Amino acid sequence: MTMNATPGTPGSGTTEAPKRRPTINDVAEAAGVSRGTVSRYLNGGKWVSPDAQEAIHRAIRRTGYRANQHARSLVTGRANALAFLLAEPQDRLFADPTYTPLLRGAAEALTRRQMTLNLLVASTPEERENVVAYMAGGHVDGAMLISSHENDPLLDLLLSHGIPVVSCGLPLGRTDTVASVSVDEAGGARAMVAHLRSRGRRRIAMITGPLDQPGGRYRLQGYREELGADFDEALVAHGDWGRESGSAAMTELLARAGDIDAVFAASDAMAAGAMATLRRAGLRVPDDVAVGGFDDSPLAVNLDPPLTTMHQPFDRISAEMVALLLETVAGGEIKSVILPARLVVRAST
């Protein structure tokens, strides 16, 4: 019933419009109501009579209607999309297995909310400008900033443009002005050191990440705290997260202190490099030197021996990032969430 098309249309017979996307007007017509009512139905359904709801529901099914996001965004000013913003230089990202599960988790969390994830890469200063201009252009409602450094110019740019941001990892220097989700870096480091000690190790070295990043700074801090009086400056070397740097740092450590019986690397990749150096030096893992990592990346299980490491709950991190960012966009207050890391014991310790 009421299968009537718009009357008075100059006809090419039966089906005159081959495949035009149905609009809200088509739905309204099919349901016998006005587009205002359909619009209200779509946005919460308040102040719509049960009869109308039923009719509209069926009309939508029948027509296969889906709202045009562009039209919607134009009038509301909201994009229904979030940016996943990668700010690392190329070389690192290529080898970094860390953000893959984050990305995936974020995409899923957004899909569930009928929103979109836009992937943006800002390695160079030029790309940085582009990306910020893009975001300030209203294409997205907010940004998940993945790997931030202390006093990151990108973060400043975003904030100065009033773009809602949630940082993955505590944003050094801006802890109270930016929402963030991070793993308990210091706590994780302490747990690893405690584990190594429980294995009877006494000369525990550390290979840190860059100290201008939270993962670099706080994992070192946890290591230092847990060791307390046993802390020895000579047992600390610095890396850049990557495998090669771990290898180099291990060489340096061995030169400085021959009696090392354990190493805690702030990333699995650096742990892999350290293990290669140890092997080359004729030292066995874990018999002579135990090795612990951080991240629990896919890499860890492929090493020989498989690597003991701190597991990061990437799925929870990404889910929290999305939730927090949406809160921020909605005008909520700035919050920070810290999630626990979990020790995963394998054969390397």
Partner DNA sequence: TACCCTTCTGTGATCGTGCACAATAGTGGG
Partner DNA sequence: CCCACTATTGTGCACGATCACAGAAGGGTA
Binding site for its own copies (CB under 8 A): 21, 66-71, 73-74, 79, 81, 84, 86, 93-95, 97, 100-101, 103-104, 107-108, 111, 116-121, 127, 130-131, 133-134, 136-139, 243, 269, 272, 276, 279, 298-299, 301-304
Binding flag, residue 19, DNA (CB under 7 A): no
x/- mask, DNA, residues 36-65, rule CB under 7 A, reads xxxxx-xx---xxxxxx------------x
Q: Which is nearer to DNA, 33 or 278 (CB)?
A: 33
Instruction: Residue 212: name its binding partner from DNA, its own copies, none (Cβ under 5 to 8 Å by kind).
Output: none
Q: Which is nearer to its own copies, 117 or 172 (CB)?
A: 117
Q: Which of residues 189-228 bind DNA (CB under 7 A)?
A: none
Binding flag, residue 329, DNA (CB under 7 A): no
Binding flag, residue 17, DNA (CB under 7 A): no
Binding flag, residue 24, DNA (CB under 7 A): yes
* One-letter amino acid for residue 91 of the chain: D
Instruction: Residue 218: name its binding partner from DNA, its own copies, none (Cβ under 5 to 8 Å by kind).
Output: none
Closest-CA residue to 84 (of 132, 133, 117)? 117
Binding flag, residue 21, DNA (CB under 7 A): yes
Q: Are strands 262-265 and 204-208 parallel, antiparallel or unpaired?
A: parallel
Cβ pair 232, 251 in contact under 8 A? no
Alpha helices in the chain (DSSP H): 24-31, 35-42, 50-63, 69-76, 90-95, 99-112, 125-134, 153-160, 185-198, 214-227, 243-256, 268-280, 298-302, 314-329
Binding flag, residue 76, DNA (CB under 7 A): yes
Q: Which is nearer to DNA, 53 or 251 (CB)?
A: 53
Question: Scanning the structure block, which residue is given the tokens 């490099």?
Answer: 273
Whether the CA torsion 232, 149, 266, 219 is positive or negative: it is positive
Instruction: Residue 42: name its binding partner from its own copies, DNA, none (Cβ under 5 to 8 Å by kind).
Output: DNA
* SS3 state of residue 14: coil
Q: Which is nearer to DNA, 71 or 194 (CB)?
A: 71
Task: Tell me whether residue 118 is exposed, middle or buried, using C-beta atoms within 10 angstroms of its C-beta: 0 to 12, 13 to 18, 19 or more.
Answer: middle
Binding flag, residue 80, DNA (CB under 7 A): no
CB of 57 to DNA, least distance (A): 13
CB of 145 to DNA, least distance (A): 26
Q: Which is nearer to DNA, 38 or 299 (CB)?
A: 38
Binding flag, residue 20, DNA (CB under 7 A): yes
Closest-CA residue to 194 (of 31, 45, 343, 15)? 343
Alpha helices in 205-345 (DSSP H): 214-227, 243-256, 268-280, 298-302, 314-329
Phi, psi of 294, deg, nearest 5: -155, 130
* Structure token digits, residue 336: 């920070």
Instruction: Residue 33: name its binding partner from its own copies, DNA, none (Cβ under 5 to 8 Å by kind).
Output: DNA
For the chain, give me the number of helices (H) and strands (E)?
A: 14, 12
Whether the CA torsion 253, 256, 262, 264 is positive or negative: it is negative
Chain residues that interact with DNA, rule: CB under 7 A: 20-21, 23-25, 32-40, 42-43, 47-52, 65-68, 71-72, 74-76
